[in-house]
Chain A
Amino acid sequence: MPKIEEYIPIVGQSVIDDLRLLSGRLKDKVVQHVNSTAVGGGVAEILSRMVPLLKDLGVDTRWDLIKGGEDFFEVTKKFHNVLHGRQDELTQRDFDVFMATSQKNIDEVNIYGDIVFIHDPQPIALIKKKSQNKWAWRCHIDVSNPNQKVWDFLMQFIPNYDAAVFSAPGFSQRLSIRQFLIAPSIDPLSDKNRELPEEEINAVLAKYGIKKDKPIITQISRFDRLKDPLGVIEAYLRVKEHVDCQLILAGGGASDDPEGVQVYEEVKEKAKLDKDIHILLLPQNDLEVNALQTASTVIIQKSIREGFGLTVAEALWKAKPVVASNVGGIPLQITHKYSGLLCHSIEGAAFAIKQLLNSPDYAKKLGQNGREHIRNNFLLTRHLREYLLLFLSMYHPEDLVYL
């Protein structure tokens, strides 16, 4: 795991100095993170990198997990889906299962933090253990249009927290507690984002039979209707009428998601329309994702809904020109025509891709701007700084805080 000093060549000494200034103000506090899983998923990925770095900065940071059986996690997966706007039936039994497991965790989880940081809905009921300490609830989900039944259920807990944290302005709700905007981040030193040697990139392309003889358009996403892979193929085919190019659709496995398997099959079927479409079912392989992104001419993220869309940040960090839908956290990462192109339709996506392929200087400028935008706003160091500020804000209700 990298040490905080290792980020200095990327973000500069002064950014790390600021982190040290802030962490010094939290020396006597214990920060306790609680979530539901130690591995797998974005939250665990972020915590596994954040917690050691916070410790490295001198903040006593610990990480605890709640426990739950299969039935509990089935219910919380349903919660997740319907909060994202998908359709699913929720019964009273689901809520009973959630509460029964929550009560067990309330009885068993040791709460010792001066600041308790609860991630996502699974451990939300732990707030019942609140005493004199400070509690924040971190919502990693797009709740811009939440299922009302589940949101109302969660609202029996949320107002008891001292603060809530959301990833995009559109996710905020009318709440009686303070709510902060903290976007997620990418780690520039991780396998997914570090600079790769040319031979490593070429080896990955060779493995999948991809030649560099024509421009590469890539979307990295799981095979999910919300990522619109069929729409991406449509857009690509429109581009192909005018510019010779190839398309890579690469994403994680979908074996635990029956709908995902179906979408994957449909994508494979549609891909038969063109020999230059590469459909890659990648297992969790950060290095290969990195290589594919780095080798691409244009990256697309044509999602219909998106939590934050960190694949966009990953692509921009590699200075790639990006065409992406104007949904979720994507407009925070792309300012239209400054650091990428935003689109609302298949036609719009196709037009934007064509523009970028035909205007390499413009595409290069957008990519460079995008990389700097990510450097300033979406790297792990910014995330660390905002978490430190969040912890400090728990003790300072004012808008202008002198430390």
Chain B
Amino acid sequence: MADLAKAKEQFRFYTRLHLSELTGLRASTLSQLANLIKTVPDSCIYHHTHRFLQQHQYLSPEPPNDFAYWATQVLGEDRLGEELASIDTVQYSTLKELREKIVSTIEKNLEEDKFAKLRFAHSGEEFHFVKSISFVLPTNHIVGDLKEFIEALKNVTLDSLYFHIFEARLRLGRGTNDFSNWIENSLDDKNLAQQIAKLDPYTFTLEDLRKTIIKITEKRIFL
């Protein structure tokens, strides 16, 4: 077992709880959807591309975002739905870029498929734009080395894991996840930091993501 390095700075786990705020904005057609996606706040884009991750964590590891779900299930636009669901969120480091990709995917579909413009949602099935309001709180889990990190990671809520992986990277614009950041800068373990940063978190359930990070870190300790 390698010597267990002590961190220059301790890592405190935070948790994030969310509340949905309604905007009163709704779309019945793809054109309306694209136009509204261009103008709604970032917290709406964030909500509709990340809601499934938390609400449907046990169902499927893939992230069927709300736009994809609506296009497929309500408008019957299977191809567009698949294209929207396939947007590789992990590639985008800002919500602005992600928003532009979603808009361009819908607009391309509208240009290429003349029937796409004609489709509309029935009353009651419109797309309703919702914002995600995040409340960030410190937890009592504070760690100073990788062993403590693993122990804490086993016990924090999925909300906490979610905050440090998804919210930190995309919504707070930190570029990478908080764990990699701490491991690289406070423990000088670039290799482990990169292994965690390389994971595509959107293709795991949150519980599997937790297990995977623990496994990678344990392997590192017991090298």
Chain A CB within 8 A of B20 CB: yes
Please indicate the chain A residues that have their CB under 8 angstroms from the CB of B172 in the complex.
400
- Cβ of A385 and Cβ of B22 under 8 Å apart? no
Within 8 Å by CB of B56, from A335, A336, A385, lies A335
Chain B CB within 8 A of A147 CB: no
In the complex, per-residue mask of A169-206: 1 if CB is within 8 Å of any chain B CB, else 0: 11011110011111000000000000000000000000
- Cβ of A386 and Cβ of B19 under 8 Å apart? yes
Chain B CB within 8 A of A359 CB: no
Please indicate the chain A residues that have their CB under 8 angstroms from the CB of B142 in the complex.
none
Segment with Cβ contacts to B, from A58-66, A87-95, A210-218, A389-397: A389-397
Contacts A327-B124, A376-B57; A399 near B134 (Cβ below 8 A): yes
Residues of A in contact (CB 8 Å), total 43
Segment with Cβ contacts to A, from B84-92, B125-133, B143-151, B179-187: B125-133
Contacts A181-B130, A399-B134; A18 near B22 (Cβ below 8 A): no
- Cβ of A172 and Cβ of B19 under 8 Å apart? no
- Cβ of A393 and Cβ of B59 under 8 Å apart? no
- Cβ of A14 and Cβ of B73 under 8 Å apart? no
Contacts A181-B130, A338-B56; A393 near B19 (Cβ below 8 A): yes
Please indicate the chain A residues that have their CB under 8 angstroms from the CB of B24 in the complex.
172-175, 179
Residues of B in contact (CB 8 Å), total 41
Q: How far is the CB of B160 from chain A (nearest CB, A)?
A: 8
Please indicate the chain A residues that have their CB under 8 angstroms from the CB of B123 in the complex.
145
Contacts A338-B59, A403-B135; A385 near B21 (Cβ below 8 A): no
Please indicate the chain A residues that have their CB under 8 angstroms from the CB of B18 in the complex.
389
- Cβ of A400 and Cβ of B171 under 8 Å apart? yes
Chain A CB within 8 A of B199 CB: no
In the assembled complex, the Cα of A21 lies from the Cα of B24 at a distance in Å of 31
Residues of A337-354 contacting chain B, CB below 8 A: 338-339
Chain B CB within 8 A of A15 CB: yes
Chain B CB within 8 A of A290 CB: no
In the assembled complex, the Cα of A166 lies from the Cα of B21 at a distance in Å of 10
Please indicate the chain A residues that have their CB under 8 angstroms from the CB of B136 in the complex.
400-403
- Cβ of A390 and Cβ of B19 under 8 Å apart? yes
Chain B CB within 8 A of A257 CB: no
Contacts A180-B19, A180-B21, A181-B21; A172 near B128 (Cβ below 8 A): yes
Residue among A181, A327, A338, A399 with most chain B CB within 10 A: A399
Contacts A174-B24, A393-B19, A400-B134; A339 near B59 (Cβ below 8 A): yes
Q: How far is the CB of B40 from chain A (nearest CB, A)?
A: 12
In the assembled complex, the Cα of A168 lies from the Cα of B76 at a distance in Å of 23
- Cβ of A369 and Cβ of B58 under 8 Å apart? yes
Q: How far is the CB of A106 from chain B (nearest CB, A)?
A: 28
Within 8 Å by CB of A385, from B17, B57, B132, B134, lies B17
In the assembled complex, the Cα of A400 lies from the Cα of B170 at a distance in Å of 13
- Cβ of B58 and Cβ of A372 under 8 Å apart? yes
Residue among B56, B126, B139 with most chain A CB within 10 A: B56
- Cβ of B19 and Cβ of A169 under 8 Å apart? no
Chain B CB within 8 A of A22 CB: yes
Within 8 Å by CB of A166, from B15, B22, B58, B137, lies B22
- Cβ of A401 and Cβ of B133 under 8 Å apart? yes
- Cβ of A144 and Cβ of B171 under 8 Å apart? no
Within 8 Å by CB of A389, from B17, B23, B69, B128, lies B17
Please indicate the chain A residues that have their CB under 8 angstroms from the CB of B125 in the complex.
326
In the assembled complex, the Cα of A180 lies from the Cα of B23 at a distance in Å of 9
Residues of B142-201 contacting chain A, CB below 8 A: 155-157, 159, 171-172
- Cβ of A376 and Cβ of B55 under 8 Å apart? yes
Chain A CB within 8 A of B28 CB: no
Contacts A14-B156, A336-B73, A403-B135; A144 near B124 (Cβ below 8 A): yes
In the assembled complex, the Cα of A172 lies from the Cα of B25 at a distance in Å of 9
In the assembled complex, the Cα of A8 lies from the Cα of B175 at a distance in Å of 36
Please indicate the chain B residues that have their CB under 8 angstroms from the CB of A145 in the complex.
123
In the assembled complex, the Cα of A399 lies from the Cα of B171 at a distance in Å of 11
In the assembled complex, the Cα of A373 lies from the Cα of B60 at a distance in Å of 12
Chain A CB within 8 A of B41 CB: yes
In the complex, per-residue mask of A286-330: 1 if CB is within 8 Å of any chain B CB, else 0: 000000000000000000000000000000000000000011000
Chain A CB within 8 A of B109 CB: no
Q: Which residues of A contact B (CB under 8 A)?
A: 14-15, 17-18, 21-22, 144-145, 166, 169-170, 172-175, 178-182, 326-327, 335-336, 338-339, 369, 372-373, 376-377, 385-386, 389-390, 392-393, 396, 399-403
Contacts beyond the supplied A169-B130, A376-B54, A400-B134: 18 A-B pairs with Cβ under 8 Å: A15-B157, A18-B17, A21-B15, A22-B135, A144-B124, A169-B128, A172-B23, A172-B128, A175-B24, A181-B20, A181-B21, A181-B130, A393-B19, A396-B135, A399-B21, A401-B135, A403-B135, A403-B136
